[in-house]
């Protein structure tokens, strides 16, 4: 993959595909992690005298202009973090975009409006996507792919534009790919993966592939209940995906056959309802009362997981261990995060909610070797899939 060092950017218009898909509360950015992660590449380009044209998506406006998903607040925050003004185009490839780009001087930065206002961005029709890509590419002379969180999408700005312009990977994409390589090739052992989050169905592909690679697989979060049920235990009103039971039984068998230590919760925090202030108690994972739902892993499980992580050399963690958004059910997620922070292993956090949990719990982000900016993209990489955005950059 070519990097920024391979491009001569001075005085040229460089289109940067960034991932600026941050959570918003109205116009207030509630977590600017992805903007901060995008700054170094933009700064490097501006510092080398490029005219930097940033493009990105926000939310799912589905091909229509919807003010709720405007990137304008993001332009303001990006400007603060860069310490320089960011010109904002009120459309993606229209008059405003052309004029804004035209007005850029060397070292200046502009942000285009939400790519997903344009139906061509996400179209499944190659011709429709290609036509939009032509317009986007027409705004610049060079392309830098740095939106790691979107590289698993076959979208115009990710997949088609790099085919039309000389291109390179930005620093964020290079760093993320380097980490993922360490998780898939010549990985240092013991290699332990901790999976949690809501649904097992979101992570079937990654579990199947990881079972061929890891020494231990620790399962917590909502998905653990489908595993417990597959082992024949009742899970009360816990999150259960009954349609995945066969699949999960297959995973249990496969783990046994391959000698992978697949570790499930031994106790859970069981609540009477799904609420922050729900009455709750710790129960054995094999004895969840019929009227309760497991919202976190229990104290014995936290210790068990910590012991399984203690001698690890490589750890990948994706998905909270419980409903960390409620303080009463955040202890399991905190325990796993702290075990990783205290470990000498190469520790990687993947997943938007897992990264958000680290920040919400006030834990130090630099306590981990790496926190990925792209949950979906890292999971698809670990699943063994080809990511369109990376393939396009490699050509």
The mark string for 315-354 relative to Mg ion (x by CB under 5 A, - otherwise) is: -------------------------------------xx-
**Partner from ligand ADP, Mg ion, none contacting 171, C-beta within 5 to 8 A by type:** none
Q: Which position among 222, 236, 374, 389 is part of the footprint of ligand ADP (CB under 6 A)?
A: 222
Instruction: Report if residue 198 touches ligand ADP, rule: CB under 6 A.
Output: yes
Stretch touching ligand ADP by CB under 6 A, among 118-126, 133-141, 194-202, 282-290: 194-202
Instruction: Report if residue 322 touches ligand ADP, rule: CB under 6 A.
Output: yes
The Cα 145–Cα 147 span in angstroms is 6
Stretch touching ligand ADP by CB under 6 A, among 22-30, 78-86, 111-119, 349-357: 349-357
Nearest to 113, CA basis, from 47, 33, 59, 159: 59
Own/partner long-range contacts of 280-289 (Cβ < 8 Å, ≥24 apart): 280/328, 280/329, 285/224, 285/228, 285/233, 286/228, 286/233, 288/228, 288/233, 288/234, 288/235, 288/236, 288/238, 289/236
Name the strand (E) or helix (H) holding 166: none
- Size of site (CB under 6 A) for ligand ADP: 20
Tokens 């939106």 sit on residue: 147
Instruction: Report if residue 66 touches ligand ADP, rule: CB under 6 A.
Output: no
The mark string for 350-379 relative to ligand ADP (x by CB under 6 A, - otherwise) is: -xxxx--------------------x----
Task: Give the burial class of 67: count Cβ atoms within 10 A of its Cβ; 0-12 exposed, 13-18 middle, 19 or more buried.
Answer: exposed
Minimum distance, C-beta of residue 332 to ligand ADP, in the bound complex (Å): 8
Active site residues: 34, 199, 352, 376
Minimum distance, C-beta of residue 285 to ligand ADP, in the bound complex (Å): 12
The Cα 204–Cα 226 span in angstroms is 12
Instruction: Report if residue 160 touches ligand ADP, rule: CB under 6 A.
Output: no
DSSP state string for 190-244: SEEEEE-SS-GGGGHHHHHHHTTT-SEEEE-STTHHHHHHHTT---TTS---GGG
Sheet holding 267-271, edge to edge: 280-284, 267-271, 293-297
The mark string for 271-300 relative to ligand ADP (x by CB under 6 A, - otherwise) is: -----------------------xx-----
Footprint on this chain of Mg ion (rule: CB under 5 A): 352-353
Footprint on this chain of ligand ADP (rule: CB under 6 A): 196-198, 202, 221-222, 239, 294-295, 318-320, 322-323, 325, 351-354, 375
């Amino acid at each position: 993959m070519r990097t920024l060092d391979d491009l001569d950017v001075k005085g040229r218009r460089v289109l940067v595909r960034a991932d600026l898909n941050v959570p918003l509360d109205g116009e207030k950015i509630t977590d600017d992690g992805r903007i901060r992660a995008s700054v170094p590449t933009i700064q490097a380009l501006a510092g080398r005298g490029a005219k930097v044209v940033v493009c990105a998506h926000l939310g799912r406006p589905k091909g229509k202009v919807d003010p709720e998903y405007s990137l304008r607040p993001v332009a303001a925050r990006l400007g603060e973090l860069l310490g320089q003004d960011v010109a904002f185009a009120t459309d993606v490839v229209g008059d405003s975009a052309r004029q804004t780009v035209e007005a850029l001087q060397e070292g200046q930065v502009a942000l285009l409006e939400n790519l997903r206002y344009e139906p061509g961005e996400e179209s499944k029709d190659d011709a429709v996507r290609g036509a939009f890509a032509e317009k986007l590419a027409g705004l610049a002379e060079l392309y830098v792919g740095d939106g790691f969180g979107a590289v698993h999408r076959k979208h115009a700005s990710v997949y088609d534009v790099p085919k039309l312009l000389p291109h390179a990977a930005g620093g964020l994409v290079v760093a993320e790919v380097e980490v993922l390589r360490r998780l898939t090739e010549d990985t240092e052992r013991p290699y332990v993966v901790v999976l949690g989050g809501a649904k097992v169905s979101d992570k079937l592909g990654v579990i199947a592939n990881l079972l061929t690679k890891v020494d231990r697989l620790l399962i917590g979060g909502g998905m653990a209940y489908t595993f417990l049920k597959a082992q024949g235990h009742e899970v009360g009103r816990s999150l259960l995906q009954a349609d995945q039971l066969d699949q999960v039984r297959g995973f249990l068998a496969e783990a046994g056959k391959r000698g992978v230590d697949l570790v499930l919760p031994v106790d859970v925090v069981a609540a009477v309802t799904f609420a922050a202030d729900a009455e709750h108690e710790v129960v054995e994972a094999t004895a969840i009362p019929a009227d309760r739902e497991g919202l976190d892993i229990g104290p014995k499980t936290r210790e068990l997981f910590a012991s399984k992580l203690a001698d690890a050399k490589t750890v990948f963690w994706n998905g909270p261990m419980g409903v960390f958004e409620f303080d009463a059910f955040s202890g399991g997620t905190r325990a796993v995060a702290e075990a990783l922070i205290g470990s000498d292993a190469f520790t990687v956090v993947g997943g938007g909610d897992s990264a958000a949990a680290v920040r919400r719990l006030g834990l130090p982000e630099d306590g981990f070797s790496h926190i990925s900016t792209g949950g979906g993209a890292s999971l698809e990489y670990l699943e063994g899939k080809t990511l369109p955005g990376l393939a396009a950059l490699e050509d």
